[in-house]
Structure 1
Amino acid sequence: MTVSLPAPLSPGHALVTGGAGFIGSHLVDGLLADGWQVTVIDNFDPYYPEAIKRRHIAAHLAHPRYRLVEADIRDGAKLDALLNDQYTVIVHLAAKAGVRNSLTDPLGYQMTNVIGTQNLLSFAQAHGIKPFVFGSSSSVYGNCPRLPWREADLGLTPINPYASTKLANEQMGYVYAETFGLRFVALRFFTVFGERQRPDLAIHKFARLMQAGKTIPVYGDGSSERDFTYWGDIVAGVRAAMAFASDPAQAKYEVFNLGNNRTIGLLDMIRLMEKVLNVDAKIDWQDWQPGEMRRTWADIGKSQALLGYEPATDFETGLRRFADWLAVQP
């Protein structure tokens, strides 16, 4: 059976939440370069230093087709008051991120990720904005034993509060697609890495510790594996999803994996980092952490077929680009 890909999407006006973050700022780079008007919502959450996000968007601020709205997505009334333009598509990337922090602040994650997403869905419904692209997470699969993970897997059981909020968001999106006519696409990101990566994520954290001659914390026996995906491939997938959600010929609700369809062991990752950074790692072995997933692995067949998604950057190439970027950071 021949599957038609989404129709090409002409530049319009994108509303991007979390547009000062890692993935969001890269997405905005590309949209502005391609002629889009972009409105970004970001509250510069103190999860990591605000100055980092400010650097991400420094070049955007002077752009005539860019607008920054500093607001919290939990405040629906403020969003309604400040967002008064006509938007072609919503790309919702804002969230409280991080598995471990969600274990100690589950209510905070519910408020931002669930209530915040509810506010954005309500805003889209009220303003007649049908295309809605949502940044979900591979963590919704929990420790699903069926590998690689497929979007059709049922009975998903997240093992941390962060993941539970993402799965709830996907279900909310289904309600708004079925009941209110939105065109909702959820993208399950698999371990995104590269330039501008959050400083708490393993590759960034390990690199700085290794370069400083400090130990790196390794949890469990080192057997965990991740499906690492370079940010450029993720952004390409987001752009394809924007076209999918905007095309009436496509399904009004879909979930897609955006990964690399291959896994890399934690110890292999560390050895490659040693090679790229030209330093030796000093490992501090620690117990397994609650809520941590032992393995992630994406089946990307559906994304390839319906989005034309094809990851183009292998792990070592992406790691070298990250190292070059890190070398010039403060």
Structure 2
Amino acid sequence: MLHQRAARGLICAFLCVLATSARADIVVGVVLSLSGPAAPVGRAQAPVVDHLPRQVDGEAVAYLVRDDASDPVQARALAIELADAESADLIIGSTTVAGSREIVNAMAGRGVPVITPSALELGRIQPGAAGYWAFRTAPDPWLMANGVVAHLLAHDRRRIAFVAIDGPYGDLWWSAFGTLAETRRLKVESFRRFDAGSATWPWPSAIARESPDAVMVVAAGSAAVAAVQALRDAGFDGPIYQTNSAAVDAFLHACQGRCKDVMMPASPARLAEGDGAGARFRARLGAAATAFGGYVWDAGILLEEALRRSRATRMADAAGTRQALRNGLESIRSLAGVNGVFSMSARDHVGLDQRAVILVTPDENGWKRAD
């Protein structure tokens, strides 16, 4: 325990020296999960902070980084400290949906805009609602599900078996995929939930007997790989689709060559292709350029544009600056980021369209676009 606390302290101490609020015109609080269960994602995001804009049209921008240890309660407390004690004008965070929800709810009451790099559902956007102050750089699960459905239809795979881990993530994906499948006339022949921690799963053998055109698996981490292995062991040799949660290098390494005909949606940042924002992101981050880091990079792009758009309307007091930044974010149109093109509005604080989704598949060299 002492070693874990010491490690967290060192991480925070190191990252906090990235910037100081002294003499900064704009202060940005950054809350990430640098320890705890979400640390693999948080630590992929942390190096990006060092490359976010420090000067925007002559204004100095400072970033104060905090580790919420993958704890939503701590994420809330840190965001409050940054807003109240450090006078942060905007918060970026957190790595997790649960942490982001706590931050957004806490900052809405203080009138502080939040850009979350998680897949948090923002809810209502009108004044008085938490979503009014929240913006997001991660694509909507509905966009990801639509990418899967489009790929299924393009390959005439219409009889689908759907399997999801039991819990909110599985429910969210079933809501999106099930609705899209019905609209686009796919036939979901079976729907099953499963416990990721169970020692045995009966459903792979049942699905192999049903012989659907494809299987949609909603899982994350080791369960995503185990589901593929269980289906192959049961004799199912058809296409397997996963969610964007599986589009991480850990999935590649754990697959061990057994992931032929496994596909999943991902953001364009997953592949080293294209130019513009993606090329700059890869050039600056090198091997540390990841899809999850791209969500933080895009938060910096949104912040820079919002600073330019809000400069004429910003007030000397903190409340006026925060409100102007929020309005600046909401006015952004056709801004190219790593993960897509952002066009915000009073009804949409994500602003991404289908250009934010590609279908990828593992191969011997890493990732490639699915055919």
How high is the TM-score relative to the length of structure 2? 0.37
Larger relative contact order (CA 8 Å, sep ≥ 6): 1
Larger Rg: 2
Instruction: Kindly indicate which of the two structures has a greater share of residues assigned to helix.
Output: 2
How high is the TM-score relative to the length of structure 1? 0.40
